[in-house]
Amino acid sequence: MTIAPAMATQVHIIGGGLAGSEAAWQLAQAGVDVRLSEMRGSGETTPAHQTDGLAELVCSNSFRSDDAEHNAVGLLHAEMRSLGSLIMAAADAHRVPAGSALAVDRDGFSAAVTEKLAAEPRIEIVRERVDALPAAGPTIVATGPLTAARLAQSIGAATGADALAFFDAIAPIVHRDSIDMDVCWMASRWDKGETKDYINCPMTKEQYLAFRQGLLDGDKTEFKDWERDTPYFEGCMPIEVMAERGEDTLRYGPMKPVGLDDPRTGRWAYAVVQLRQDNALGTLWNMVGFQTKLKHAEQVRLFRTISGLERAEFARLGGLHRNTFINSPQLLDSTLRLKTAPHIRFAGQITGCEGYVESAAIGLLAGRFAAAELAGETPAAPPLTTALGALLGHITGGADAASYQPMNVNFGLFPPIEGRARKADRKRLYTERAREALETWLA
């Protein structure tokens, strides 16, 4: 069948949240027609949305730090502004006082995005639920963490059920350079000296018992009503639930010390916390088996009682939430196309990025990539040294596919700065390098 020319240049975006709205805007600015399918407004909703507005903020009204000199998300704001982001323009126009953070009037923000998109002649907003991945035609799937069930099934069928998650069971992730390697050591269990893949943190009996008590007593976040019914797998069980099962359950589970000789004593410790490399750069390490519902402040306090982690800086803290996302490092190419069906791109939180700004940023890139492709160009990804490029690189291959979990933008995703520099200086060096790289990319 021949596709009519008008249809061949139209991009179908599914989902009018942060990512889908930004992608639609970028495409329209590039002269491409868009069909934007959003199920809210057709009698459907998600468990978290309250309105029919596009780009509704489902929880906090904060876009986090707006400091483009010292903060990775602030830098991402700046890069998105320089690429004509609608989400950033609407956020700036509806800013409310929040110190150095960018917080917005959520109703004004969503209304501004909805009005701008509705007024754009190239965008047709259709209030409809889409139940299956389109078999043909350029498509961007941006249905977010609460993707409707039938479409999720269709995505599962296209990607392999194992590659689609319904929960993020996040273990805390630590910046490698904040771990005290005079106390911790590199080794694999029963290590014979060939591979030393884990960072190991030893614990005495007293430390272990106090730590377990801390898990039992710690302040925890409750599941939302609609999350209670989504079962989590035994493999994703929160560490505090394991601690409740018995005094030694953790020592026979994620904190097993056997086969790990502590080089300082030549013996096995009473318990061991292991960290595994989380990104190709080796800058981020996740605490194996430490997914948790402990409140964030409690996690920082308790995890810093672990030997070698006293000064740990966390790239992200642990959590367990309902969240539909695909295994992007395995499934997507470098411009967000599904490798097995390249007419489909994914954008937003469903790719495994995390947060309003990150979701919009990936929507922005998906829109620009799709526009470039329709113009007969080869889409070029932004350099890895930019915030956009670092986030995209993580999603599309930098992250370890086996332990892939949603991630906010942070400097741990950037290629490290060569040489020694103070922490404060290092952040500035990252942002300076990013600015130059983005200018070159845009030139």
Helix, strand, or coil (residue 35): strand
SS3 string of 192-231? CCCCCCEEEEEECHHHHHHHHHHHHHCCECCCCHHHHCCC
Q: Is 140 a residue that touches ligand FAD (CB under 6 A)?
A: no
What residues are paired with 347 via a beta bridge? none
Among 11, 13, 16, 319, binds ligand FAD (CB under 6 A): 16
Containing H/E element for 158? helix 149-159
Asked if 409 contacts 73 with a C-beta cutoff of 8 angstroms, the reply is yes
For ligand FAD, the nearest residue by Cβ is 17
Q: Is 302 a residue that touches ligand FAD (CB under 6 A)?
A: no
Residues that contact ligand FAD, how many (by CB under 6 A)? 33
Distance (Å, whole) CA 129 – CA 144 = 13
Q: Is 145 a residue that touches ligand FAD (CB under 6 A)?
A: yes
Distance (Å, whole) CA 249 – CA 253 = 6
Nearer to ligand FAD, 321 or 433 (CB): 321
Distance (Å, whole) CA 443 – CA 440 = 5
What is the contact mask toward ligand FAD in residues 280 to 299, using x (rule: CB under 6 A)? Answer: --------------------
Q: Is 19 a residue that touches ligand FAD (CB under 6 A)?
A: yes
What residues are paired with 202 via a beta bridge? 272
What is the contact mask toward ligand FAD in residues 320 to 359, using x (rule: CB under 6 A)? Answer: ----------------------------xxx----xx--x
Among 130, 242, 392, 438, binds ligand FAD (CB under 6 A): 130
Helix, strand, or coil (residue 411): helix
Q: β-strand 95-96 against 62-65: which pairing, if any?
A: unpaired
Among 27, 28, 73, 142, binds ligand FAD (CB under 6 A): 142
Segment contacting ligand FAD by CB under 6 A, of 11-19, 75-83, 294-302, 307-315: 11-19
Nearer to ligand FAD, 24 or 437 (CB): 24
How far from 331 is each of 14, 134, 164, 167, 358, CA to CA, in Å?
Answer: 19, 17, 10, 18, 19
Rounded to 10 deg, the angle between the 72-82 and 423-442 helix axes is 20
Segment contacting ligand FAD by CB under 6 A, of 13-21, 192-200, 212-220, 433-441: 13-21
Nearer to ligand FAD, 18 or 273 (CB): 18
Q: Is 389 a residue that touches ligand FAD (CB under 6 A)?
A: no
CB count, 10 Å around CB of 439? 11
Which residues, numbered 24-63, are part of the site for ligand FAD (CB under 6 A)?
37-40, 46, 48-49, 58-60
Which residues, numbered 359-388, are part of the site for ligand FAD (CB under 6 A)?
359
Which chain residues interact with ligand FAD by CB under 6 A?
14-20, 37-40, 46, 48-49, 58-60, 129-130, 142-148, 151, 348-350, 355-356, 359
